[in-house]
Amino acid sequence: MKHKKKEGDNLRFAFLFFAAVIFLIAVSFAIKAFLIFRNSTYDGKHRFNIAVYQKNVSSVISFSPQNNSITILNLKGYTGNNLEKFLSLPIDGSVRASGLPVDSNHVASDLSGILFHHDGTSSTLTVLDTARLLFFARGVPRDSVSETDLSAKDVLSINSFTSSSFIDPQVANDKVTIEVVNGTQVYGLGNRFANLLTNMGADVVLVTSSDEEQKYSKVTYTGDVNYTIKKIGEILGVSPEQTSQRDISDVTVIIGDDAIPKINF
């Protein structure tokens, strides 16, 4: 009887141990899934720009769900690591690749090779972002994919192309007026941020410098919050605040010293 009881206890212990292992695995997967969803940045509704850094050619691939289109800009000879600042363009994700640039003739397959870490690539995009971008790319007609090659030294052509080809339709439709105030001692920071907003399609009506240095960045707005206001807050890493005091614009952006270590524009 004691022998049978011991066998029963062993079976019970083995079952509990197995159940505990399964539970821990399930919890681990649940946590990973939660982190993937939390860190996902592509919403499938608004323009999304990714930078692809390679040895001799770096590219910006811009996905526009509103227009069901993809715009590709290849910069020959660019060897830097900050296309957001170089182009005055918000970059939502980046990939470092060792293969060839994306070809507009087979953009989906090229993206698959780059985004899924083929050819020794690394990416800041989540698995969910990658899958959704590839799904979107496969549904874009060939005549809605444009590709442009420019020399990194041709600044005038780059500025002209950037200001007209990466406008976010939602930002343009929001039609909010924006004032940018440089509250730091970094010369030209306000104008750089204003250029980035303008390239997105925003209406910047005034750029000034604060009389006093501002420690903290701030975004205030009148009326209802919209996509443009949220996007500005995301770029600066602050939560927009509603105010009843309207000045010359719908939105006032103060760039403070806290933004200097984390901004890319």
pLDDT number for residue 111:
80
Strand order in the sheet with 177-182: 203-209, 177-182, 251-255, 218-221, 241-242
Count of CB atoms within 10 A of residue 110's CB? 22
Contact of 48 with 133, CB cutoff 8 Å: yes
Position 106 confidence tier, pLDDT thresholds 50, 70, 90: confident
pLDDT number for residue 162:
96
Contact of 93 with 124, CB cutoff 8 Å: yes
What pLDDT, in 10s, does the model give residues 11-24?
676 666 676 667 66
Cβ-proximal residues to 142 (8 Å cutoff; 6+ apart), any chain? 104, 105
Q: Is the pLDDT of residue 120 over 80?
A: no
Mean pLDDT, range 240-262, rounded to an integer: 91
Tell me the pLDDT of the chain averaged across its residues. Answer: 86
Q: Is the pLDDT of residue 58 over 80?
A: yes
pLDDT number for residue 107:
79
pLDDT number for residue 199:
96
pLDDT number for residue 231:
95
More confident position, 62 or 1: 62
What pLDDT, in 10s, does the model give residues 174-225?
999 999 999 999 999 999 999 999 999 999 999 999 989 999 999 999 999 9
Query: What's the rounded Cα separation, in Å, for the pair 62 and 95?
Result: 13
Query: What's the rounded Cα separation, in Å, for the pair 76 and 204?
Result: 31
| Residue bearing tokens 């681990």 | 28
